[in-house]
Amino acid sequence: MRRPLTVLLTALAPVSWGTTYAVTTEFLPPDRPLFTGLVRALPAGLLLLALTRVLPRGDWWWKAPVLGALNIGAFFPLLFVSAYRLPGGTAAVVGSVGPLFVVGLSMPLLGQRPAVRHLVTGAVAAVGVSLVVLKGAGALDPLGVLAAVASTASMATGTVLTKRWGRPAGAGPLALAGWQLTAGGLLIAPVALLVEGAPPAFDGRALAGVLYLALANTAVAYWLWFRGIGRLGATQAGFLGPLSPLTAAVVGWAALGQALTPVQTAGMALAFGATLAGQAGTGRRRLFGSAERAAREGSTARKDPVRPTVPALRR
C-alpha cells in the first residue's frame, strides 16, 4: 500500500502546477514572466530554509545550485515565456513530452535502458494531452516554441540528476527543495531586475496569487515532487507530468468557462490512461528482481567453499 500512496502524493505536485496558468493570468500582473518565476521560487525557498535549518555540505554546495538552475532558475522563466507567447495551450503540449525526455536521459545518466512500454505510454500521453489543449491552428512564435522545449528539457534533466545524486545524509526532501528554490530564485532575481525593471505594484488580489504560488504551488509541491523522485524513481515520477496540462484544461473548463469538446474529453481519457500505465508494473518487476538477486547470491555462496552461507542470508 505504500507505493500507491506515494504515487498519489507525488501526483499532487503536477496537479498543483496545472493551476499555475489560471492563477497567473487571473491574479498576477501581465507580461512579467521573470518576476512571476521569482515570486514563486525565492520566498518559498527561504521559507523552507528557515523551517529545516539545514545547509548543503561538501559537494552539495555546487550540486544544489546546478539542480536549482535546472529545476527552478531556468525552468520557471522559460515556462512563463512560452505561456505568454504561444497560443492555444501549445506550451502545455510541449511539456507533455517530458516523460520521453526523462526516459531518454535516464540511459546516459542513470544507466537505465528505456523500456518499450515507457516509450509507448509516453508517446500516447503526449498525443492525449495534445488533443486536450490544442485548439485553433495558427502561426507559432519561434521564441515561444524554443522556450517551451528548453523548459521541458531543463526540468527533465533536473529530475534525472535529482535521482542520480540522491540526498546527502541528514537532509530530507524538504531541505533539498529549499536549497534548489533558493538557488533558483537567486539566479532569477538579477535577470528579472535587468530585463523587467522594478517589481510591479501589488493589490490584494495579486498578493493572494503570490501567496498561493509561493506556498502551495511551489514550496509544498516541490517538496512532494523531490520526495516522490527519491521513492519512485525519475522515470515513474516523470510519467506523472501530463497531469499538469490536464489539470490546466480542467481548471479552464470549471473555473474559466472554457468548454471541452468530445475530442478534448477523449484526449484527457487517453492521457490519463497512459499516465496510469506508466506507473503500472514497477512493484512486480522489483519483486522479481529482488528474488533473482537473492537466487544469484545464494548460488554464489553455495559455490564458494571459503565463505559460509549464513552471512549471505543476513545480507
The Cα angle at residue 251 between residues 271 and 120, in degrees rounded to 5? 10
First to last CA, the chain: 25
Helix residue spans in 86-115 (DSSP H) = 90-95, 98-110
Distance (Å, whole) CA 155 – CA 144: 17
pLDDT at 78: 87
pLDDT at 190: 95
pLDDT at 202: 81
pLDDT at 286: 41
Amino acid at the residue 296: R
pLDDT at 107: 77
pLDDT at 287: 34
pLDDT at 64: 95
Cell 529545516 locates to: 52
Helix residue spans in 111-203 (DSSP H) = 116-133, 142-165, 173-196
Show me where the domains of the chain are located: 2-280
Alpha-carbon distances, residue 49 vs 36, 111, 175, 198, 226 (angstroms)? 21, 33, 7, 26, 15
256 and 19 Cβ atoms separated by less than 8 Å = no
N residues, the chain = 315
30 and 259 Cβ atoms separated by less than 8 Å = no
| Tens-digit pLDDT string for the chain (315 aa) | 467 888 889 989 988 888 887 788 788 888 888 888 898 899 999 999 999 999 999 999 999 999 999 999 998 888 878 767 765 455 666 666 677 777 778 777 777 776 777 677 777 777 776 776 665 445 567 787 788 888 888 988 998 898 889 888 888 889 999 999 999 999 999 999 999 988 888 888 989 999 999 999 999 998 998 888 888 877 677 778 777 777 777 777 677 666 667 776 777 677 667 766 766 654 444 433 333 343 344 444 444 444 333 333 333
